[in-house]
Amino acid sequence: MYTFSNRLKTFSIALIIIGALGVVYGFMTSHKSFEDVETMLATEASHGGGHGEEASHDVATTHDMTAENAALTETGEAHVDEHKEHVEHVQHQLANRPWSAIYVAAFFFFMIALGVLAFYAIQFASQAGWSPVLFRVMEGITAYVLPGGLIVLGIAVASGTIGHYNLFVWMDPEVVANDKLIQNKESYLNLPWFIIRGLIFIAGWSLYRHFARKFSIAQDNADINDNRNFKKSFRIAAAFLVFYIYTESIMSWDWIMSVDPHWFSTLFGWYVFSSMFVSGITVIALISVYLKSRGFLTFVNDSHIHDLAKFMFGMSIFWAYLWFSQFMLIWYSNIPEEVTYFVTRFQDYQLPFLGMVVLNFVFPFLLLMNSDYKRLPWFIIMAGLVVLGGHYIDVFVMIMPATVGDRWFIGIPEIGAILLFAGLFIMVVFTSLTKAPLLAKGNPFIKESEDFHY
């Protein structure tokens, strides 16, 4: 049995408190009055050196077509409106920032748990012989699926009910009234249906998680020749994977793609999947290495770590493949209605957008290629942290351009949100790890897994 060390518990509580302070600070400083924003823009313009107010008007009105669709005329009156609209636009972006910051962090930690759940189901459905020793670690991580999913959905809904439509412009009836494109999507993109869909997804995932865990523990206590629980696990894993691949796709349209309701991409669901899958596997590796170093996973050997590292390596390349496929197809054909997605990212997010390719692809590709390195715990930890950082930025670049535009920065609200959810994640996961023995001894493949050697 694992005992949640007091130091780690204190650490996670500290993360939650510090993170919560950062989030509160973010919300308190994000509400700027019209005049505040006006003076801020004026100072920026004078500091910009040549980047005059006139120029910033152009940028503001052309770069974000989703939020504004004003028809501009050349009259003086229109110029005043334009100024007012620009200031309001920036004001809105500033107000969006803390919302987006917690949404990105909440989704990032949630997607880790969901990725692990998919990986876990695949291990059952494929009857993998190497991984059963890691099942309890995976079950521990997937404990975060239910709270994490509810938090993400809660933030999404709250942004449209408590907040001022800070994440999804399609929730704003005023925007929809003036937007033909969103009106056409209204039968899909409306708040009640969005909530129902979200609840169906979360219910399906958590139900699978609940029963998989239940059967896994029941198998531990069952007679040695009684594999009924294992067979049930196998069946529900296969069924879950079918459910998962549909709902994951729809979830990524709902929770991520719909922040840009004018844009669509067909492989987006896969792209989000690859990101959550590789982050999930990385976290399994990190937690396994941690628990092993504390002496709780004596049955996990180098070869298990090696296999996880191979998955990290392969799935990082898979992510890069999908990232590039999505980018290159849109870049190549350059159709205006879909290319704006990447234009804003290239203009305003060049460093994170290209930097994450280095973190998520080049770095793991070169470091995890060597077979010997994949067996070194410190190497896995180092590469894993880089991969996780890269995938945080991945989610960041998916959400932020649509909500805060060029007003992004990774500052107190963002880091606070990461710490808050990291603390919560550690709390939930490690509490769940204490609930059952770390070796799923009833699993029929457990002997093979313990003797696994590569």
The reply on whether position 332 binds other proteins by CB under 8 A is yes
Q: What number of chain residues touch other proteins (CB under 8 A)?
A: 8
Which three-class secondary structure state does DSSP give residue 436? Answer: coil
Contact, 304 vs 133, CB < 8 A? yes
Alpha-carbon span 360 to 270, nearest angstrom? 16
Nearest distance in Å: CB 393, other proteins: 20
- Per-residue burial over 44-71, b if 16 or more Cβ lie within 10 Å, else e, is ebeeeeeeeeeebbeebbebbebbbeee
Residue 332, classified by CB atoms within 10 Å of its CB into exposed (0-12), middle (13-18) or buried (19+), is exposed
Nearest distance in Å: CB 369, other proteins: 7
Selected range binding other proteins among 150-158, 256-264, 323-331, 344-352, rule: CB under 8 A: 323-331
331, 337, 362, 451: residue in contact with other proteins (rule CB under 8 A):
331
Nearer to other proteins, 32 or 310 (CB): 310
Which three-class secondary structure state does DSSP give residue 349? Answer: coil
Q: Distance of CA 275 to CAs 282, 304, 321, Å?
A: 11, 22, 11
Task: Provide the 10 A C-beta neighbour count for residue 188.
Answer: 15
259 alpha-carbon distance from chain centroid: 14
Two structure tokens written together for 72 = 């501009």
Contact, 26 vs 98, CB < 8 A? yes
Nearer to other proteins, 163 or 314 (CB): 314
The reply on whether position 337 binds other proteins by CB under 8 A is no
Nearest distance in Å: CB 383, other proteins: 18
Q: Choose among 138, 168, 163, 149: nearest CA to 108.
A: 149
Nearer to other proteins, 75 or 333 (CB): 333
Nearer to other proteins, 174 or 372 (CB): 372
The reply on whether position 335 binds other proteins by CB under 8 A is no
The reply on whether position 13 binds other proteins by CB under 8 A is no
Q: Choose among 62, 64, 86, 31: nearest CA to 401.
A: 64
Q: Choose among 424, 451, 432, 383: nearest CA to 117.
A: 432
42, 162, 245, 369: residue in contact with other proteins (rule CB under 8 A):
369
Nearer to other proteins, 203 or 335 (CB): 335
Nearest distance in Å: CB 331, other proteins: 5
Residue 431, classified by CB atoms within 10 Å of its CB into exposed (0-12), middle (13-18) or buried (19+), is middle
120, 327, 408, 430: residue in contact with other proteins (rule CB under 8 A):
327
Selected range binding other proteins among 21-29, 112-120, 192-200, 324-332, rule: CB under 8 A: 324-332
The reply on whether position 350 binds other proteins by CB under 8 A is no
Contact, 8 vs 430, CB < 8 A? yes
242, 328, 362, 385: residue in contact with other proteins (rule CB under 8 A):
328
Selected range binding other proteins among 177-185, 234-242, 329-337, 392-400, rule: CB under 8 A: 329-337
The reply on whether position 334 binds other proteins by CB under 8 A is yes
Binding site for other proteins (CB under 8 A): 324, 327-328, 331-332, 334, 369, 371
